Structure 1
Amino acid sequence: MEALINKFRRLIGTNRTEFRRGLSYKINWNARGICIEGARGTGKSTIMLQYIQTHLPLDQTLYTSLDDLYFRKNNLVEVAERFYGLGGRHLFLDEVHKYDDWQTAVKNIYDFLPDMKLVISGSSILALQQSRVDLSRRLLNYHLPELSLREYISLKHSVELPIYNFDDILSSHGEIALDLQKIIISPLKSLNDYFNYGAYPFFIEGESDYFMRINQLINVIIDYDLPEAKAIEVATLAKLKKLLYVISTSVPFTPNITKLAEQVDTSRIRLLEMLHILEQAQLINNLRSASHGTSLMNKPEKIYLHNTSLIAALAEGKPDTGNVRETFFLSQVQNSGAIITYPKVGDFMVNGKYLMEIGGKNKSGKQIQGHDHAYIVADDLEHGFGNKIPLWLFGFLY
């Protein structure tokens, strides 16, 4: 126990609190049980440590990661009980999925130590998703997405920036752009920087090895996280990586599943399973029409990587501009909580109402003429007019 406490105290002393993710303000930290899920590298550990630093008494708090070798020989429930006996009332468990039968341990801690507030987190989204049914009565679940453009600029330049909702951007984008440009010198430069380096907070440690870190992150997810959560053959792991590369270099397209399966050297049914697995792991987004639903065997209308940094890292300098633009819009709007589906015309339908066409500053509205609530979202544009809105503004939704 003393070893865990000493590691925690050393760690808390090195954590920074100047920048905080938007999610940290939305979490009900007074709840007895909290689960924070999200892709690797998004900052879940940092959120927990920042809250401890700014809100909790250290002598009643313990943060530990369950991939610590300490838990090879020590029982988690017994550790929690000993900590409780020492006056501990706030227990933070990171990488929780690394502990065997962690769901049972978490349930026991929650049920038998009613005065203990418990926060858990993990990098294997699949493992945490599978536990939701068992733990839903006990834990409030929160999802931490990749950085938004707003968060990227705030972290990089140490500035406070407001959050706007989707409807406000549609109705007042001219005024919002003017307000933001009082703080942001060059929104288009920031957007282009974000396309390459913006999705993960570790860009702050240096852009020179950012892509290497992303490739390592992808390898860990595919080689370790996925096999821990699902029975996957070794040969399939290499095909998953090949599939990611194919998607990263493609133009936005309605995929021919049979042809795509040939490119990856697999069957049609197996390819659909692979797309489902990669979506669960939050490496891709499968866009579907509202009428077809999300069944595993329903082919997606379009396939995108989960964020633009993944494209930049995998496409090796050959990303398609249209793909980058659409991926940015999809990730920012979807991460804000909106529901996006594939429409009959245009690129995206948002919340079943707003039809969005994505393109460059000269993009016309020919494809969406005659539709109510139709908008053009344009890159390379600082200020919009009418129903033509700058792409960069949709990076301020969370």
Structure 2
Amino acid sequence: MELHNFNPWWQDGKVPTEFIGERRKIFDEVTQYLDQRQILLFTGLRRVGKTTLMHQIIDTLLRKGVHPYHIFYFSFDEARFNLEELIEQYEIEILKEDLSKEKVFLFLDEIQKMRDWPSKVKILYDLNPKLKIVLTGSAQIAMWKGTRESLAGRYFDFVIQPLNFEEYLGFRKVEIDTSREKIFEKELKRHMAGFLRTGGFIEALDMDERMLHKYIKESLLERVVFVDIPQTFPLDMPALLLRLLTITASRPGFYLDYRNLSNDLKIDQRTIANYISYLEYALFLQKLYNYSRNLLTSEKKVKKLYPSNTAFTLALNPQAPLSIVLEQFFVNALGARFFLKTPQKEEIDIIHNREAQLLPVEIKIKEQIGKEDTKKLFKFMERQQLHRALLITLHTDTTIRKEQYAIEAIPYWRYWSIMQRVSAPPGRSC
């Protein structure tokens, strides 16, 4: 194995410019932990910039004077290798001494592709106190059976997301005075449409429609469905994964009914449940639970399923209406975990639960907002003794009051106002 191919800085002391890219906010967050003993674990979808983040950290270390030979990067996405043999080769050929002697930075990319990786990394960590380990994985590998047990107390986990809308504008070099959103309405609507199409994937920002859909399908969805997931889980129908994802993209937010899916697909319910869990593991699907103060009750109730990114929906369902795509966008952007569906069939899109404080959020992308659109919000607020709710709209921009209760109606393109309302302390308006 030619290790120097993965580590060009061993030759000239520099990370190639094309490896570095543009820094994101997450860079400043993770670099605070470089001096800590714990492993840094970056997880997330493919193509969100985890490898780029690693190279940015390596570039920073080199600029701070860390010797190039004390920085070792390897990608298990490019080659399969035994970790013990890999480290031994590095010690003999490059380091010229035992790994435990000096401060060394070890970067292992796509670690989930190494068999039994948690126990092997644990041994490496425990035997080498001076070693700083940084890992990436294109899935929820922190949730793997054995990961928490083997590495408990030994790692910090960071989920690397695609660009959010604010970062997207930054990468586009678009400047918005966020305290005066209304001035920029046309520009924000135009850029929001572009963001929904690309899903915040950096490589996709300048692609035309045809190339974009091909990129999302082949480089992201099909690569994970037909290669990554089958390498991780025992399954014999990878095409079923893509079919389930396509069904979800055709109806974002559909009620998950294993019996109906089983009847439609002629596949048993347990298999369908397992395959949906694999898609969740791969970060392709987002599951919402029917809200109850009792979490066990929520677990038993009907659930809703969304694709995790609007680019997935539009690549698989290009004709998806704006109202559906925007509903999904806010479910994704707010990290929604709960919705509401009562026995009386009252439904609310999102019940945002922050520090045990509730904020009901309804998304109504329509020309006119009427009493029927606020009725269920007021009922929920009265029942739960909440003083405010959020209604995300197409045009309507007002506050609708009833006694001591207030619903703030905000157009979807006022992104910062919406995010501020969601993060505001309960009972307070921004």
- TM-score by structure 2 length? 0.76
Whole-angstrom CA distance in 2 between matches of 1:152 and 1:294: 38
Counterpart residue number, 2:425: none
Counterpart residue number, 1:391: 412
Please state whether the residue corresponding to 1:266 is helix, strand or coil.
coil
Query: How big is the shift at 1:22?
Result: 2.6
Query: How big is the shift at 1:53?
Result: 1.4
Whole-angstrom CA distance in 1 between matches of 2:21 and 2:82: 35
Whole-angstrom CA distance in 1 between matches of 2:275 and 2:206: 32
Flag structure 1 segments of 5+ consecutive residues without an equivalent: 162-175
Once the two structures are superposed, residues 114-133 of structure 1 have per-residue CA deviations (whole angstroms, 9 ceiling, x without a partner) of 11211011224348633233
Please state whether the residue corresponding to 1:35 is helix, strand or coil.
strand
Whole-angstrom CA distance in 2 between matches of 1:58 and 1:360: 56
Please give the residue correspondences for 1:68-87 in structure 2 after superposition, counting only pairs within 5 Å.
Answer: 68-69=78-79, 71=81, 75-79=85-89, 81-82=91-92, 83-85=94-96
Please state whether the residue corresponding to 1:353 is helix, strand or coil.
strand
CA separation of 1:14 and 1:71: change in aligned 2, threshold 3 A: farther
Please state whether the residue corresponding to 1:8 is helix, strand or coil.
coil
Q: Which amino acid aligns with 2:376?
A: Q
Alignment length (residue pairs): 373
Query: How big is the shift at 1:188?
Result: 0.9
Indicate conservation of the 8 Å contact 1:377/1:390, yes or no. Answer: yes
Query: How big is the shift at 1:156?
Result: 2.4
Whole-angstrom CA distance in 1 between matches of 2:242 and 2:276: 11
Choose which of 376, 379, 387 in structure 2 pairs with 1:367: 376
CA separation of 1:179 and 1:269: change in aligned 2, threshold 3 A: same
Query: How big is the shift at 1:224?
Result: 2.0
Once the two structures are superposed, residues 224-279 of structure 1 have per-residue CA deviations (whole angstroms, 9 ceiling, x without a partner) of 2222222112x3x2122111111111264334432233333322333223222211
CA separation of 1:294 and 1:228: change in aligned 2, threshold 3 A: farther
Counterpart residue number, 1:328: 329
Counterpart residue number, 2:338: 341
Query: How big is the shift at 1:177?
Result: 4.5
Q: Which amino acid aligns with 1:248?
A: A
Query: How big is the shift at 1:64?
Result: 2.0
Pair 1:14-2:20 in alignment: no
Pair 1:141-2:157 in alignment: yes
Counterpart residue number, 2:195: 194
Whole-angstrom CA distance in 2 between matches of 1:240 and 1:295: 28
Once the two structures are superposed, residues 327-383 of structure 1 have per-residue CA deviations (whole angstroms, 9 ceiling, x without a partner) of 10011111xxxx5311243211001500000022533423312423211012457xx
Pair 1:306-2:319 in alignment: no
Q: Which amino acid aligns with 2:201?
A: Y
Indicate conservation of the 8 Å contact 1:273/1:296, yes or no. Answer: no
Query: How big is the shift at 1:106?
Result: 1.6
Counterpart residue number, 1:212: 214
CA separation of 1:125 and 1:294: change in aligned 2, threshold 3 A: farther
CA separation of 1:117 and 1:205: change in aligned 2, threshold 3 A: farther
Please give the residue correspondences for 1:1-398 in structure 2 after superposition, counting only pairs within 5 Å.
Answer: 3-9=2-8, 12-15=15-18, 17=20, 19-27=22-30, 28-32=33-37, 33-56=39-62, 57=66, 59=68, 60-69=70-79, 71=81, 75-79=85-89, 81-82=91-92, 83-85=94-96, 89-126=104-141, 129-130=144-145, 131-157=147-173, 177-179=178-180, 186-204=187-205, 206-207=207-208, 208-216=210-218, 217-233=220-236, 235=237, 237-250=238-251, 252-291=253-292, 293=295, 298=300, 300-315=302-317, 317-334=318-335, 340-344=337-341, 345-351=347-353, 352-360=357-365, 362-364=368-370, 365-370=374-379, 371=381, 372=386, 373-379=388-394, 384-386=397-399, 387-394=408-415
Whole-angstrom CA distance in 1 between matches of 2:91 and 2:297: 43
Whole-angstrom CA distance in 2 between matches of 1:248 and 1:309: 10
Which of structures 1 and 2 has the larger relative contact order (alpha carbons within 8 angstroms, sep 6+)? 1
Once the two structures are superposed, residues 10-68 of structure 1 have per-residue CA deviations (whole angstroms, 9 ceiling, x without a partner) of 79213365632332222222223111111111110011111221344352322221234
Please state whether the residue corresponding to 2:6 is helix, strand or coil.
helix
Please state whether the residue corresponding to 1:42 is helix, strand or coil.
coil
Query: How big is the shift at 1:310?
Result: 0.3
Query: How big is the shift at 1:88?
Result: 5.9
Indicate conservation of the 8 Å contact 1:377/1:391, yes or no. Answer: yes
Whole-angstrom CA distance in 2 between matches of 1:224 and 1:391: 37
Indicate conservation of the 8 Å contact 2:106/2:132, yes or no. Answer: yes
* More strand as a share of residues: 2
Please state whether the residue corresponding to 1:64 is helix, strand or coil.
strand
Please state whether the residue corresponding to 2:108 is helix, strand or coil.
strand
